[in-house]
Amino acid sequence: MRLLFLIASLLLAAITVAQTQKASGVADFISIDTPVFVLEHVRVIDGTGTPAKEDQAVVIANGKIQFIGPEESAQIPPGAQRMGRSGYTVIPGLVGMHDHLYYTDSYSLQVVDGKVGEPGLFIAEIPYTAPRLYLAAGVTTMRTTGSLETYTDLKVKSRIEANLMPGPSIDATAPYLEGAPTRFAQMHELTGPDDAKRMVDYWAAEGMTSYKAYMNITREELGVAIRQAHAHKLKLTGHLCSVTWPEAVALGIDDLEHGPVFLPTPNSSRTRSRTCAQQVVAEAAGPNRT
């Protein structure tokens, strides 16, 4: 099935800052740069769960969809570029909910005899390739869901917004809210609830737009982080272990990643933290999720 993604940001970019793009390389990724055009004879899947509709026309003007409906009832604006796309399917741009700007493929190389050397597991940022790959896969909006090179993530976001590089609209997630001990060289270890509040406030001020709690956070740190994120009108998700999902839900967490990876038994937070640290190393030897 051939797909056309309705990429509002790129369409807008194509229309408003074409000159800038020509200099930046963004233009290489834009196949339509006329302000008013019609995709004709396409199949439309609108994402609401209704059945696909055949032989549709989609009229787009100045970056916005003006009409979607049967070809025979389409009002084609004068001067519109008409593009017959029989055999293609149009879908909304995808929203990537867990799209990191880094890659974890080297984990297994860093674990020797079940142990990770100091200063811990490290992960490579891929700021050039990742946004392009997500966009190529149809993702037009994405959440980074945990940051390791946070200022790089912010730079990628700002460069995309300025039409200086191709990529989806980015909800930039702050650095992992991780407790001690972490096995990752690039993660800060929270020292308590006050530190959790400080982290949330700082990264909100820097322009991050969501948060992610990680495996060794304590219940007290998580509770403060959730409250403070909500005070900034931002959301917090979690890849948890030391705090159970029911506990996190009771604390008001907005979202949960992966899992189930929590331990069901109500052990002390300290005991569970050690277990979670060991679990990270065990996972590092095989397929991994961060």
- Footprint of Zn ion (CB under 5 A): 290
The CB-of-154 to Zn ion minimum distance in angstroms stands at 18
The CB-of-99 to Zn ion minimum distance in angstroms stands at 9
Token pair listed for 176? 């992992």
The CB-of-103 to Zn ion minimum distance in angstroms stands at 11
User: Using CA atoms, how far apart are residues 140 and 132, in angstroms rounded to an integer?
Assistant: 10
**Amino acid letter, 252:** G
Token pair listed for 148? 């390791």
Name the residue number minimizing CB distance to Zn ion: 290
Residue 141 or 290 having the CB closest to Zn ion: 290
User: Using CA atoms, how far apart are residues 110 and 117, in angstroms rounded to an integer?
Assistant: 7
Residue 43 or 98 having the CB closest to Zn ion: 98
Residue 100 or 157 having the CB closest to Zn ion: 100
The CB-of-107 to Zn ion minimum distance in angstroms stands at 13
> What value, to the nearest 5°, has the Cα angle with vertex 148 and ends 274 and 242?
25
Residue 163 or 290 having the CB closest to Zn ion: 290
User: Using CA atoms, how far apart are residues 36 and 243, in angstroms rounded to an integer?
Assistant: 52
Beta-bridge partner residues of 84:
40
Residue 216 or 290 having the CB closest to Zn ion: 290
The CB-of-127 to Zn ion minimum distance in angstroms stands at 17
For 145, how many CA atoms within 13 A lie in the half-sphere containing its CB?
A: 22
Q: Which letter does DSSP use for residue 82 in this model?
A: E
The CB-of-289 to Zn ion minimum distance in angstroms stands at 6
Residue 83 or 97 having the CB closest to Zn ion: 97
User: Using CA atoms, how far apart are residues 19 and 14, in angstroms rounded to an integer?
Assistant: 9
User: Using CA atoms, how far apart are residues 290 and 171, in angstroms rounded to an integer?
Assistant: 17
Largest CA distance in the chain: 70
